[in-house]
Amino acid sequence: MSTLLEKIKKLEPPKEKRFLHTLYDGFFTFLYTPDHTTQGVGVHIRDRMDLKRTMVMVVLALQLCYVFGTYNIGHQHFLALGQHTSFLAAIHLKLAYGLIKILPIFVVTHLVGLGIEFYYAAKKGHGIEEGFLVTGALIPLIMPPDIPLWILAMAVAFAVILGKEAFGGTGMNVVNIALLSRVFVFFAYPTTISGDQCWVAGLEYANGAATGQTYGGVYHFFDWIFNGLGWATFGEGGRTVADAFTGATPLGLASQGWDKVTSVYSPMQMFWGAIPGSVGETCKPLIIIGALMLIATGIASWRIMLSCLLGAGFMAIVFNWWGFDAFMNIPWYYHFYMGSFWFAMAFMATDPVTAASTNRGKWIYGFFIGMLGIIIRVMNPAYPEGWMLAILFMNVFAPLIDHFVIESNIKRRQKLATASGN
């Protein structure tokens, strides 16, 4: 009796059929580890851990962010409407609402991104590259939950084609692909991803006021299920937004001082993530758990993470000392409660392709990301968050940092060799 592996191998298309063979190779290597290892002579890498499995570990580290972010989409929606305001109230409605919003984003991201990856892999006649496993998991987490899907599709196509394939594919890109998709939306459609309004799904903004959107057919399907179970339902949906709802983000309020921020959001709300924002950025403890998982598995550099933390703290302390305006006077440690620092530090800055490679270079690279992020956040009123631009900027300089570090090491060793020769 033939094994499952043998049966699957019999399905392998001929290599002349490039697209089919590329598709088969991608799924085969995803399901099975390579059936050979490198020889024990002249090399030090001898295991079966390939790039796909490395990428899968990053995706697993993101799952807690997905779970919390999905729930928070629904919670923020009902909170804005003044319904089920307790965080754990109507859990089923909030999860269902979040899934309805995030699943289309996830599906469109992967259909567009993987479709382009498949096309280029078949055209080149090689296996499917694995880099989009992580990119496709990151993009939904850094977008607003109510982003128009056609804008999302354009952003993904732009990032994958011009940011990666134009440079040769996975491992050859200069900047982070997920961030490139976000920066495309930021500059091409600025009102969709920036401004002082909270990213709350299911609201319509007009003339400075917000109203709630009426639920559609897919929500009525869930109502049919929930009603049968005797649970609360979506109903028809109201057009009235709660009087206590504010359209200002913590970072938007921060320019007026920390007391303005805490009048709307408590520090614990911001730390635990019960606030509006991008899907994956709000819950800091879960992001830290994911970061520790990446460090423990050796996938992400702890040097970059720690240096980002030191750089951001150093610059925030400098601004506290300067004290020119209200934003600069916010206690330095509260900068770690607001915005997407932790997510950017753990999952964006540590991208091994676009970050510095040398150990000393990682310290320099991360420290400057932390510094630049705080500078942009505090001193740029048009963009009250700085991590996207700071990381992309340092992505470009990462090879130069490594170059100078290597040159410095060569000169130091030459001096040591010369001194020992004398």
Please check whether residues 23 and 161 belong to one and the same domain.
yes
Please check whether residues 278 and 166 belong to one and the same domain.
no
Please check whether residues 305 and 385 belong to one and the same domain.
yes
Please check whether residues 29 and 137 belong to one and the same domain.
yes
Please check whether residues 29 and 117 belong to one and the same domain.
yes
What's the DSSP call for residue 212? E
In the chain, how many domains are there? 2
Domain boundary among 184, 205, 220: 184
Please check whether residues 29 and 152 belong to one and the same domain.
yes
Please check whether residues 267 and 134 belong to one and the same domain.
no
Please check whether residues 180 and 271 belong to one and the same domain.
no
Q: Report pTM.
A: 0.85
342 assigned to some structural domain: yes
In the prediction, which pLDDT does 57 show? 87
User: Per DSSP, which regions of 266-394 are E strands?
Assistant: none
In the prediction, which pLDDT does 1 show? 38
317 assigned to some structural domain: yes
In the prediction, which pLDDT does 317 show? 96
Q: Can you give the residue range of the structural domain that contains 260? A: 253-406
In the prediction, which pLDDT does 23 show? 64
Domain boundary among 139, 160, 184: 184
Token readout for 142 is 């850094």
Please check whether residues 27 and 171 belong to one and the same domain.
yes
In the prediction, which pLDDT does 27 show? 65
420 assigned to some structural domain: no
In the prediction, which pLDDT does 249 show? 79
Question: Which residues are CB-neighbours of 226 under 8 A, at least 6 positions away?
Answer: 92, 93, 96, 232, 233, 234
Please check whether residues 399 and 277 belong to one and the same domain.
yes
196 assigned to some structural domain: no
Domain boundary among 184, 204, 233: 184
204 assigned to some structural domain: no
User: Per DSSP, which regions of 207-259 are E strands?
Assistant: 209-212
What's the DSSP call for residue 201? T
Tell me how far apart the alpha carbons of residues 140 and 126 are, in angstroms, rounded to a whole number.
28
Please check whether residues 377 and 296 belong to one and the same domain.
yes
92 assigned to some structural domain: yes
166 assigned to some structural domain: yes
CA 51 from chain center: how many Å? 19
Tell me how far apart the alpha carbons of residues 396 and 365 are, in angstroms, rounded to a whole number.
11
Per-residue pLDDT of the chain (422 residues; tens, 9 = 90+): 357 666 666 666 666 666 666 666 666 666 665 555 555 555 444 455 556 677 888 899 999 999 999 999 999 988 888 888 899 988 999 999 999 999 999 999 999 998 888 888 777 766 666 678 889 999 999 988 888 999 999 999 999 999 988 888 777 889 999 999 999 988 888 766 655 566 788 777 766 667 777 788 888 889 889 988 889 888 876 567 776 666 677 887 888 888 888 988 999 999 999 888 888 889 999 999 999 999 998 889 999 999 999 999 999 999 999 988 888 999 999 999 998 999 999 999 999 889 999 999 999 999 999 999 999 999 886 676 889 999 999 999 999 999 999 999 998 888 888 877 65
245 assigned to some structural domain: no
Please check whether residues 168 and 273 belong to one and the same domain.
no
Residue 258: what residue type?
W
